[in-house]
Structure 1
Amino acid sequence: MPILLILFIFIPLGEIFLLIEIGQVIGALATIALCLLTAGLGAALLRQQGLQTLARARQNLDRGMAPAMELLEGVALLVGGALLLTPGFVTDSLGLICLVPPTRHALVRLALARLEVQYGPAGPPPGAHNSSRGHTPDVIEGEFERRDDDHPDQR
């Protein structure tokens, strides 16, 4: 089974199980209030962390550096915010992991370790054929001379 299908089946089932168990212990209204409280706290944390990440990205751009780490942290914040808006304690826990700076940095470093990053200008590598622009890797140098007197219609 694909991993996303497994996640879409087992995470909601885990959420339902936890909501029922916690609701039996503290009551239904307290469980709903706790879900709303975690969503509100998560939204406040998301706003604060998002503004800090944006400020760091701006500082890097002002220094002439690419804000690569901040962009990846922004993706983690986006995922964390979406998870916090999803009702339930499992998704709230995963969302908080994405929002808290030490765990978010660890997640980004883990993602970077698994990705292959290439640096350099955009476009094909040097010497590659780019047919959309009509460039060819083989260049023939030479000289030419236009002679209008060879054409009879231009006399």
Structure 2
Amino acid sequence: MRYILLPLILIPAIEIVVLLLAGKALGVAVTFLLIILTGVFGVYIAKRQGIEVMKKVQMETRRGEMPGDSMLDGVCIFIAGIFLVLPGFISDFIGILLLIPFIRNKLKIILYHFLRRRINHGNIKVIKW
């Protein structure tokens, strides 16, 4: 929790500053249009990639495989979608980065090790069905 509070305060403040600067440099209408276009385009791409990941998870599950890697892809794409819906250029940039497979694969390694550490220390419980 302590690691979440500071970004929750800083990121919106930085977004506001960037939006104000963009509005001053590009004009309010262009800035507004860019925010709308990046959001719509990003959500479209996130939706397409999300559907592909869902199909991959279903296929792996049918074959009896554990879809761990695909599930991490899904988590990253979901987070990307959230960032893309938020108004602002920084959040859009982060969302778009998460949709790029090469970058997402690097993030998945970090996420995997983070989750593995949490599970090993008992902070996350895995329930077997």
TM-score of the two chains, using structure 2 as the length reference: 0.85
Q: Which residue of 1 aligns with 2:16?
A: 16
Within 5 Å, which residues of 2 pair with 1:122-133?
122=128
Higher relative contact order (CA 8 A, sep 6+): 2
> Residue deviations 1:117-145, cap 9 Å, x none?
67x9839xxxxxxxxxxxxxxxxxxxxxx
Q: Deviations over 1:47-77 (max 9, x none)?
A: 1111111121122122210111111211111
TM-score (norm 1): 0.71
Runs of 5+ consecutive residues of structure 1 not aligned to the other structure? 124-155
The residue matched to 2:103 in structure 1 has which SS? helix
- Give 4+ residue runs of structure 1 displaced > 6 Å after superposition: none
Report the secondary structure of 1:56's partner residue.
Answer: helix
Residue ranges of structure 2 left out of the alignment (5+ in a row):
121-125
Aligned to 2:103: 103
Alpha carbons of structure 1 residues 63 and 5: separation in structure 2 relative to 1, 3 Å = same
Alignment of 1:81-92 (within 5 A): 81-92=81-92
Query: What are the within-5 Å matches in structure 2 for residues 127-142 of structure 1?
Result: none
Structure-to-structure mapping, 1:1-155, within 5 angstroms: 2-116=2-116, 122=128
Rg comparison, structure with higher value: 1
Return the structure number with greater helix share: 2
Identity value in percent: 29
Q: 1:8, 1:106 → 2: CA distance? A: 24
d(CA) in 2 for partners of 1:15 and 1:121?
39
